Amino acid sequence: MFWIVLLIVLGAIFLMAELVLLPGVSIGGILALVCDVAAAYFAFAWYGSTAGWIAIGAIFVVAVAVTIFSLRAKTWQKLSLRQQITSSSMDTPQDHNVKVGDRGVAVTRLAPMGKVEIAGHTFEAKSATELIDQQSEIEVTGFENFNIIVKKIK
């Protein structure tokens, strides 16, 4: 009887894993099916027809209970992340009031990406048209994501 109960419990665990941890993979579902079929087979073979039907009923009830328990929203809210990430990986140019028309200096060569210094702050920048040498004067022409688009002042 111990082995039958153990197989039913393992089937329930594998079913829960299939529903929650491995959806679409089917490994948990296949293992749950194998455990449940083996439990029913052993119940019929070792204890007779009545015990076999009781085992099948128990498997059905446990499977329904595990499915309902696994799919309830409240069950997994306790394990889910509730915090929001509000920071960014770097300051945006808009955080430092950089705007179109501001001027600065290329800290590195822009080929086409590099670093520029504008108003005492260093930013990633992209050359709008040409390669810009280090220490060249630049002017902001626009923004793209975290980058500033610049052109060389002639």
pLDDT digits 0-9 by tens, 19-65? 877 777 788 888 888 999 999 999 999 999 999 999 999 999 999 99
Tens of pLDDT, residue by residue over 59-117, are: 999 999 988 887 776 766 666 677 777 765 555 565 667 888 889 999 999 988 999 99
In terms of domains, do 62 and 101 share one? no
In terms of domains, do 54 and 105 share one? no
Domain CATH for 110: 2.40.50.140
In terms of domains, do 71 and 110 share one? no
Q: Is residue 27 a part of any domain in this protein?
A: yes
Q: Is residue 87 a part of any domain in this protein?
A: no
In terms of domains, do 57 and 122 share one? no
- Closest to 128 (Cα-Cα) out of 151, 98, 152: 151
CA distance readout (Å), 153 to 48, 94, 105, 109, 118: 92, 22, 10, 14, 14
The SS3 assignment for 25 reads coil
Number of domains present in the structure of the chain = 2
Contact 116, 125 (CB under 8 A): yes
Range of the domain at 14: 2-77
Q: Is residue 86 a part of any domain in this protein?
A: no
Residue-by-residue DSSP string for 79-120: TS--------SS--GGGGT--TT-EEEESS-BSSEEEEEETT
Q: Is residue 85 a part of any domain in this protein?
A: no
In one-letter notation, the amino acid at residue 101 is G
